[in-house]
Chain A
Amino acid sequence: MILSVLSSPALVSGLMVARAKNLVHSVLFPILVFRNTSGLLLLLGLDFSAMIFPVVQIGAIAVSFLFVVMMFHIQIAEIHEEVLRYLPVSGIIGLIFWWEMFFILDNETIPLLPNQRNTTSLRYTIYVVKVRSWTNLETLGNLLYTYYSV
């Protein structure tokens, strides 16, 4: 239930970025997107990434966008006319993006996807976590600075 409470505002806010009439609103909607995405990351159990999102994205990136939008008076009234002209090409690109998103999913019922693998439904306890449980930050650092350090 919490998943739908967090993910649907994320999608709606993402849509409203492009559709908002007021320019300042269309820079404030990514803030909602980042906030909901941070909540989704928390649901996945990635606490470090979920806290980095407000710090980096909302606190720095969106602030920079907000400064640009607020200090330069950009007129966007002309952009909203004649949008339907671009529908064929942009529709095809949008459909391709939409189809690519399903590569990540594990669902066997979606056709034309290469990831229909047989997964078992056994559950087993991972005992190594109970002996020494690594924090999120430790696992990231363990890989970042040794294996991926170049």
Chain B
Amino acid sequence: MYIAVPAEILGIILPLLLGVAFLVLAERKVMAFVQRRKGPDVVGSFGLLQPLADGLKLILKEPISPSSANFSLFRMAPVATFMLSLVAWAVVPFDYGMVLSDSNIGLLYLFAISSLGVYGIITAGRSSNSKYAFLGALRSAAQMVSYEVSIGLILITVLICVGPRNSSEIVMAQKQIWSGIPLFPVLVMFLISCLAETNRAPFDLPEAEAELVAGYNVEYSSMGSALFFLGEYANMILMSGPCTSLSPGGWPPILDLPIFKKIPGSIWFSIKVILFLFLYIWVRAAFPRYRYDQLMGLGRKVFLPLSLARVVPVSGVLVTFQWLP
């Protein structure tokens, strides 16, 4: 037992790190193709060694930190961000029973980890001892906290339909029909809230380069910035992971044909996660950026009432017709 669990942990983390590295490349290439140019394709064949070159550059670069920065907090912030995005993978199911920890509170654990993700950003901005970084960090933290509320309410909507089960069973409960089809508006809202939660795509004003000198990670160079970067992409994959397991049904194949069952469930899971990541990158390439007051207005005045307006009728219908699981 004591060998199996660390082996499982390594088996999740190492492919995840590889995936994050290649996601960086994939994003640059997909955005490039959307914009009718080719992305990086000099380093390897089709640019496949580009993440390696980037990682090598970032490791060998000289770390410069501001002299009056609060030292322990400054060093701890990117570590905390990256650690939180890795730790939350303990409850994501890849196949039936293929979860690191199959507990009843798996989704709540994910929600707790994304609540803690705010701290990496706040401590990074505060300990950088720079006004720009501080303001960017506070804005980013306020945005994350606002959209987390609507993520929580949407999770509650899906969980009411499924019942209190553990992580694998929640996916198995979508055997008849995927949750994303009757609850399709909920899926759309969840995707948009995940975009805002990870400070991505149209909602990335706090880390915009033109306006605010790259926000909370302005004072970090080499490994610190690399860890923030990796943490953001790992967070992105993390948000699309449970998104696929909740809504379009995690690992069971599309139709119940025996030919589809030959392919293992984790491959189907990966295909769905890749589709969602492609959606993330596509949205980033396609839409202009929201201004901060529009962003916060959207979160508090549109998504919060809308998610409440999904919880109440769904639970009302389920209680009325006694369809509670």
A residues whose Cβ falls under 8 Å from a Cβ of B: 22, 24, 28, 31, 47-48, 51-55, 58-60, 63, 66-67, 70-71, 135-138
Contacts and interface: CB of A to CB of B under 8 A. Distances in A.
Interface stretch (B33-41, B101-109, B310-318): B101-109
Given A58-B116, A59-B116, A67-B138, A135 B164 contact: yes
A1 to B, nearest CB: 15
A63 B105 contact: no
A6 to B, nearest CB: 17
Contact of B105 (A31, A47, A60, A71): A47
Interface stretch (B8-16, B22-30, B118-126, B236-244): B118-126
Interface in B113-153: 113, 115-116, 118-119, 122-123, 126, 134, 138, 141, 145, 148, 152
A47 B113 CA distance: 15
B298 interface: no
Contacts of A47: 103-105
Contact of B126 (A48, A53, A58, A70): A70
B122 A66 contact: yes
Nearest to A70: B126
Given A51-B105, A70-B138, A135-B164, A59 B122 contact: no
Nearest to B127: A24
Nearest to A69: B126
Contact of B111 (A55, A67, A135, A138): A55
Given A24-B126, A70-B126, A70-B138, A31 B104 contact: no
A58 B118 CA distance: 10
Contacts of A135: 104, 164
B258 to A, nearest CB: 35
A48 B105 CA distance: 7
B5 to A, nearest CB: 15
A56 B47 CA distance: 44
B138 A63 contact: no
